[in-house]
Amino acid sequence: MPRRHDALTPLTHDHHHALAQARRLKDVAKLEDEAAARNTVNDFVNFYFGRAIRHFHEEEELFFAPLVDEEQARDLILRAVSDHLRLHAMIRTVKRQLSSGDVDPELLDRVATLLTEHVRFEEQELFPLIESMIPEDDLQNLATVGRRDV
């Protein structure tokens, strides 16, 4: 992944974790041990409702909101936010399935694929655009905002 502005580095760091979680989810189908498979899905759901949701909010509130009315950025931002909503709906279903019995492996595969594609899209297209459109002073301020203020 390319070198990121300091303001975006924590989000890029999260992306590495997200890709690792997505890979584990893809491999669930190969696990013979039912308990191990449930543990992996449970870990993923916990990752999502903890770290990933916070990550989405941070992206939306700090980096997407300032650019939503910019012609050049709007379509990419709408795609990213739609991905967030789609992932949210799908992972809520995974959580429900996990507590009521069987989890649909095809759904897990779709979640893992969408999450992986979403991260790649942000790293390759949206984050470079954000870095080029948000003025350096604003990026510097965002770099020092810290995650607690989101």
Binding positions for Fe ion, rule: CB under 5 A? 59, 122
CB closer to Fe ion out of 37 and 83:
83
CB closer to Fe ion out of 81 and 98:
81
CB closer to Fe ion out of 28 and 87:
87
Element containing residue 24 per DSSP (H, E): helix 9-27
Spatial separation of the C-alpha atoms in residues 101 and 120, rounded to whole Å: 32
Residue 37: CB minimum distance to Fe ion, A: 26
CB closer to Fe ion out of 16 and 99:
16
Spatial separation of the C-alpha atoms in residues 113 and 19, rounded to whole Å: 10
Residue 122: CB minimum distance to Fe ion, A: 5
Residue 34: CB minimum distance to Fe ion, A: 32
Residue 104: CB minimum distance to Fe ion, A: 24
CB closer to Fe ion out of 37 and 62:
62
How is 69-113 classified by DSSP, letter by letter? T-HHHHHHHHHHHHHHHHHHHHHHHHHHHHHHS---HHHHHHHHH
Spatial separation of the C-alpha atoms in residues 91 and 102, rounded to whole Å: 14
Residue 110: CB minimum distance to Fe ion, A: 17
Spatial separation of the C-alpha atoms in residues 16 and 139, rounded to whole Å: 22
Spatial separation of the C-alpha atoms in residues 83 and 105, rounded to whole Å: 20
